[in-house]
Chains A and B, each alone.
Chain A
Amino acid sequence: MKHSVNRPPTPDEDDASEGFEKDEVTLREIINVKLVESGEKENLMELVRDRLVECGWKDEMRIACREHVKKKGRKDVTVDELIRVITPKGRASVPDSVKAELLNRIQNFIVSAAL
């Protein structure tokens, strides 16, 4: 099944979400494309990975995964389940400094790309 970047939204989407939200989604996509094209996305990914490792977040997540597996038993846990359970914890425990730094970098990028 072929796909293309310009494919219109699927019929499942709520029709009421037109207008403002739709524009926001399109804008996000444009920014993402620009980030990927310029290679900045890779830099940012590496930056985030490093920061999360440095502050111990990765180790915390690893411990959380271990705990869950210990509770459920090795045979009964799937990767999907782990993702489902750990993702909210992970998102909640990202340090604000990391978020701020990333946001800053993206902002700078947008400004420089617009020029």
Chain B
Amino acid sequence: MSARISFLKNPDPCNHLSNYKLRYGTDGYKSFQNLFSCFNDGRIKIKLQEIEIPRCSYCSVYQKRLYICLICRSISCSSHILLHTQLNKGHDIAIDVERSELYCCACLDQVYDPEFDEVVVSKQLVGLGMSVKSGADVVVAVRSNKKRRLDSQLIIGSKFLVSPRDRREKWSFPLGLRGLNNLGSTCFMNAVLQALVHAPPLRNFWLSGQHNRDLCPRRTMGLLCLPCDLDVIFAAMFSGDRTPYSPAHLLYSWWQHSTNLATYEQQDSHEFFISLLDRIHENEGKTKCLYQDHEECQCITHKAFSGLLRSDVTCTTCGSTSTTYDPFIDISLTLDSANGFSPADCRKNRYNGGPSVNATMPTLSGCLDFFTRSEKLGPDQKLNCQSCGEKRESSKQMSIRRLPLLLCLHVKRFEHSLTRKTSRKIDSYLQYPFRLNMSPYLSSSIIGKRFGNRMFAFDGEGEYDSSSSSSPSAEFEIFAVVTHSGMLESGHYVTYLRLKGLWYKCDDAWINEVEEEVVRGCECYMLFYAQEKVIQKAHKELSYQVISMADSFPFADC
């Protein structure tokens, strides 16, 4: 296996295992390779014959935990396993039939050997490639309790501290909340600006003067600088003035950079988002001589939004895997009535005997599952396998190696078909949570789940402990939702912001507070999540400011 998996921190083998290895090496393990039978949820069983029920050779039970001796292949239950090793000298090591895990009969305890796991896993990789079917049946990892928690949020609703002030009074709106005038189909820009202005790391960056337009070298030279334009916007948004603001300068600067999009036509909000971040990176990078390489870059864009994706391509013939890492600043998720469903939703339908998958609605977790699924590449996409030495069919799987501070999830609602030269919008409602735990989509979880209970450690991923139910860095809370309503050509973008536990609808110049249900029921297009700790920190900062600013800035009604 050429996978970049390092074997660290293995428990020491007991004497019996060491002796066994000295005598037999890995031959015993390999002889079992054909008997391993893989299941969708990562479990590997030992199947001696197709339909035979394994039984203890001493007492015939089949209901207890059974172990198969590596040397003589006789099966014993947990009560008789010690007897087996006492009657047969040297028959110390066995394999748990249901789980394919090593067991020492003399120590009466589970033991671990990376070489054994390697043998098991390489069979599983091949098995995965061979047995994957297309369509909704593809299930790679069993969903854990995390899914239930995500969904239950939608029923119970999230609980947040609400300050006792009177919500109807506009002066008690959180600081920074201000409408943006539509300058001619510019709602796509307004929507993204609202989300970025209230992203805590970005807000802090600009408000603390880290890109001051008066001190900017590019601007003094008369060059265009988008971060400077943003500096103006931040200052205006947080000035306390509540009259709607016109971001004309930013629009003009952006047109100059992206001349092909300089029209009064409706643009794609997501496209604007990417290009804006890109410009910020360019300008910041040049001014401050930061690294140009995306992974190392310390510009505000990358500090806030940059994460790392892992892509594993596995040869279905020999099981060898090649791994690559790519940075990302957002994740685009496919939304399709067929694949928006999570594996658990599909299984529900299997239990009920129905083949149809349309009974439940698409969820965000379904889309994330689809994104991290093991995808069998078509016969026309054969890749060169290093160990086979020729082009072979392969399977590919994505997972997240490192999560960013701010996670932007883009729902691909606009479908452009090159063959048919048509575009369409996918209107289906997508259910999404306000609190999102990303640990099931991390590389350690995705790769770990493929192989059941194996001894893997992932270089540097120590902070994402997939065995604990929630790691602090993998918990995210939503802070903005950009929605699109209407048709492809003539739609409208609106942003919902969550500030201090309350939701505000930002529809160009009009801002009002709305109930949670409204946000849950909207047609989401871009979801902005921030790491838990970022939100918590922001809560504290905002409340301090509201108290002091509210007094000094009585404002005119909007």
Q: Is the CB of A50 within 8 A of B60?
A: no
A33-B53 CB under 8 A given contacts A46-B347, A53-B145, A54-B148: yes
A57 nearest CB neighbor, chain B only? B145
Q: Is the CB of A59 within 8 A of B469?
A: yes
A44 nearest CB neighbor, chain B only? B351
Interchain nearest-CB distance for A47 vs B (Å): 6
Contacting residues of chain B (41-77) with chain A, CB-CB under 8 angstroms: 41, 51-53, 55-60, 62, 65, 72, 74-75
CA distance A50 to B58 in the complex (A): 33
A52 nearest CB neighbor, chain B only? B145
Scoring A10, A49, A50, A56 by chain B CB atoms within 10 A of each residue's CB, the highest score goes to: A50
Residues of A within 8 Å of B351, CB to CB, are 43, 47
CB of A92 closer than 8 Å to a CB of B: no
Residues of A within 8 Å of B142, CB to CB, are 49-50, 53
Q: Is the CB of A9 within 8 A of B148?
A: no
Which one of A9, A37, A78 lies within 8 Å of B108 (CB-CB)? A78
Count A interface residues, CB 8 Å.
28
CA distance A41 to B384 in the complex (A): 40
Interchain nearest-CB distance for A9 vs B (Å): 7
Which one of B62, B107, B347 lies within 8 Å of A32 (CB-CB)? B62
Interchain nearest-CB distance for B549 vs A (Å): 44
CB of B163 closer than 8 Å to a CB of A: no
CA distance A79 to B67 in the complex (A): 13
Proximity string of chain A (8-45) to chain B, C-beta cutoff 8 Å, 1 when within and 0 when not:
01101000000000000000000011001100000100
Q: Is the CB of B41 within 8 A of A49?
A: yes
Q: Is the CB of B53 within 8 A of A53?
A: no
Q: Is the CB of B60 within 8 A of A32?
A: no
Which one of A9, A59, A79 lies within 8 Å of B145 (CB-CB)? A59
Which one of B41, B60, B72, B78 lies within 8 Å of A10 (CB-CB)? B60
Residues of A within 8 Å of B74, CB to CB, are 1, 3
CB of B143 closer than 8 Å to a CB of A: yes
Residues of B within 8 Å of A5, CB to CB, are 52-53, 55
Interchain nearest-CB distance for A49 vs B (Å): 7
Q: Is the CB of B53 within 8 A of A7?
A: no
Residues of A within 8 Å of B53, CB to CB, are 5, 32-33, 36
CA distance A53 to B107 in the complex (A): 31
Contacting residues of chain B (128-150) with chain A, CB-CB under 8 angstroms: 142-145, 147-148
Count B interface residues, CB 8 Å.
32
Proximity string of chain B (336-356) to chain A, C-beta cutoff 8 Å, 1 when within and 0 when not:
000000001001001100000
Q: Is the CB of A50 within 8 A of B57?
A: no
Residues of A within 8 Å of B56, CB to CB, are 3
Q: Is the CB of B109 within 8 A of A54?
A: no
Q: Is the CB of A50 within 8 A of B344?
A: yes
Q: Is the CB of A3 within 8 A of B145?
A: no
Scoring B51, B53, B148 by chain A CB atoms within 10 A of each residue's CB, the highest score goes to: B53
Q: Is the CB of A83 within 8 A of B65?
A: yes
Which one of A3, A47, A50, A54 lies within 8 Å of B55 (CB-CB)? A3
CA distance A37 to B58 in the complex (A): 24
Q: Is the CB of B57 within 8 A of A1?
A: yes
Residues of A within 8 Å of B109, CB to CB, are 78-80
Q: Is the CB of A80 within 8 A of B78?
A: yes
CB of B110 closer than 8 Å to a CB of A: yes
Contacting residues of chain A (42-77) with chain B, CB-CB under 8 angstroms: 43, 46-47, 49-50, 53-56, 58-59, 62
Residues of B within 8 Å of A43, CB to CB, are 350-351
Proximity string of chain B (225-259) to chain A, C-beta cutoff 8 Å, 1 when within and 0 when not:
00000000000000000000000000000000000
Q: Is the CB of B58 within 8 A of A10?
A: yes
Residues of B within 8 Å of A78, CB to CB, are 107-110
B81 nearest CB neighbor, chain A only? A80
CA distance A79 to B408 in the complex (A): 43
Q: Is the CB of A56 within 8 A of B148?
A: yes
CA distance A46 to B55 in the complex (A): 21
A47 nearest CB neighbor, chain B only? B351
CA distance A59 to B72 in the complex (A): 37
Interchain nearest-CB distance for B146 vs A (Å): 9
Q: Is the CB of B57 within 8 A of A53?
A: no
Residues of B within 8 Å of A3, CB to CB, are 55-57, 60, 74-75
Scoring A3, A43, A47, A59 by chain B CB atoms within 10 A of each residue's CB, the highest score goes to: A3
Scoring A33, A54, A83 by chain B CB atoms within 10 A of each residue's CB, the highest score goes to: A54
A78 nearest CB neighbor, chain B only? B109
Interchain nearest-CB distance for B183 vs A (Å): 49
CA distance A59 to B59 in the complex (A): 33
Interchain nearest-CB distance for B48 vs A (Å): 11
Residues of A within 8 Å of B469, CB to CB, are 59, 62
A37-B51 CB under 8 A given contacts A1-B74, A3-B60: yes
Which one of B55, B58, B60 lies within 8 Å of A9 (CB-CB)? B60
Residues of A within 8 Å of B60, CB to CB, are 3, 7, 9-10
Contacting residues of chain B (358-375) with chain A, CB-CB under 8 angstroms: none
Interchain nearest-CB distance for A112 vs B (Å): 11
A9 nearest CB neighbor, chain B only? B60
Contacting residues of chain B (314-351) with chain A, CB-CB under 8 angstroms: 344, 347, 350-351
Q: Is the CB of A58 within 8 A of B144?
A: yes
Interchain nearest-CB distance for A100 vs B (Å): 14
CA distance A33 to B55 in the complex (A): 12
CA distance A9 to B58 in the complex (A): 10
Q: Is the CB of A58 within 8 A of B347?
A: no
B343 nearest CB neighbor, chain A only? A50
3 smallest CB-CB distances across A and B, nearest first, come from A78-B109, A79-B110, A3-B57
Provide a sorted-by-A list of 12 A–B residue pairs whose CB atoms are within 8 angstroms.
A3-B55, A12-B59, A36-B53, A43-B351, A46-B347, A54-B344, A59-B145, A59-B469, A78-B107, A78-B110, A80-B78, A80-B108
Given contact pairs A7-B60, A32-B53, A59-B144, enumerate 20 new A-B contacts (beta carbons under 8 Å).
Answer: A3-B75, A5-B52, A5-B53, A5-B55, A32-B62, A36-B51, A43-B351, A46-B41, A46-B347, A47-B351, A50-B347, A53-B145, A54-B147, A54-B148, A56-B148, A78-B108, A78-B110, A79-B110, A80-B78, A80-B109
